[in-house]
């Protein structure tokens, strides 16, 4: 049986296409291995993310509560020292001058104004306890990492 040149060309073309298909299968491990690593990594991430998230939130809450406790203890120590100073006559006189704006005979009064209103002392905050509770040690328990970790694990 004789074959024509056209049939020979068709057979060669089919052989080349078959070779190409087989050649493409040799590249398959280069695609499958990174894909398998990616899938395994995603599974590991999915498996450990929630426990890590819970552990982070517990550690964050513990640090925040410890910092709040220290702030309240500091505030209590200040109050105790104020109480002790008020037990003396000098302490009472100082309190009357500072808080009640009372003056003794012979004192000179100077009132500092800004835009026609008296300027109060920086120490007269609305709430010293609130200032302590809003300090960076309370609001950022992990320092500079707090913002980053909150973005990863989400705010509680």
- The 10s digit of each residue's pLDDT in 20-61 is 555 455 557 778 889 999 999 999 999 999 999 999 999 999
> What is the pLDDT at residue 53?
93
> What is the pLDDT at residue 60?
93
> What is the pLDDT at residue 6?
78
> What is the pLDDT at residue 123?
44
> What is the pLDDT at residue 40?
95
> What is the pLDDT at residue 26?
59
More confident residue, 41 or 154: 41
The half-sphere exposure of 18 on its side-chain side, counting CA atoms within 13 A, is: 6
Please give the structure tokens belonging to residue 73.
């203890």
More confident residue, 6 or 68: 68
Per-residue pLDDT reduced to its tens digit, 81-136 = 999 999 999 898 888 888 887 888 888 888 888 888 878 765 455 688 888 888 88
3-state secondary structure 18-86: HHHHHHHHHCHHHHHHHHHHHHHHHHHHHHHHHHHHHHHHHHHHHHHHHHHHHHHHHHHHHHHHHHHHH
More confident residue, 154 or 77: 77
Predicted structure pTM score: 0.60
Q: Among 155, 143, 152, 135, which Cα is nearest to 74's?
A: 135
> What is the pLDDT at residue 8?
77
How sure is the predictor about 18, in pLDDT bands with cuts at 50, 70 and 90? Answer: low
């Amino acid at each position: 049986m004789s074959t024509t040149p056209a049939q020979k060309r068709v057979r060669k073309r089919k052989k080349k296409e078959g070779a190409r298909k087989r050649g493409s299968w040799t590249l398959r491990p280069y695609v499958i291995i990174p894909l398998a690593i990616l899938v395994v990594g995603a599974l590991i991430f999915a498996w450990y993310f929630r426990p890590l998230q819970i552990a982070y939130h517990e550690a964050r809450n513990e640090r925040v509560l410890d910092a709040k406790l220290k702030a309240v203890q500091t505030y209590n120590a200040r109050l105790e020292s104020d109480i002790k100073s008020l037990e003396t006559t000098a302490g009472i006189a100082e309190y009357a001058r500072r808080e009640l704006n009372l003056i003794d005979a012979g004192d000179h009064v100077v009132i500092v104004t800004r835009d026609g209103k008296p300027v109060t002392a920086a120490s007269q905050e609305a709430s010293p306890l609130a200032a302590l509770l809003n300090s960076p040690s309370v609001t950022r328990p992990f320092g500079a990492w707090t913002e980053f970790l909150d973005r990863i694990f989400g705010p509680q």
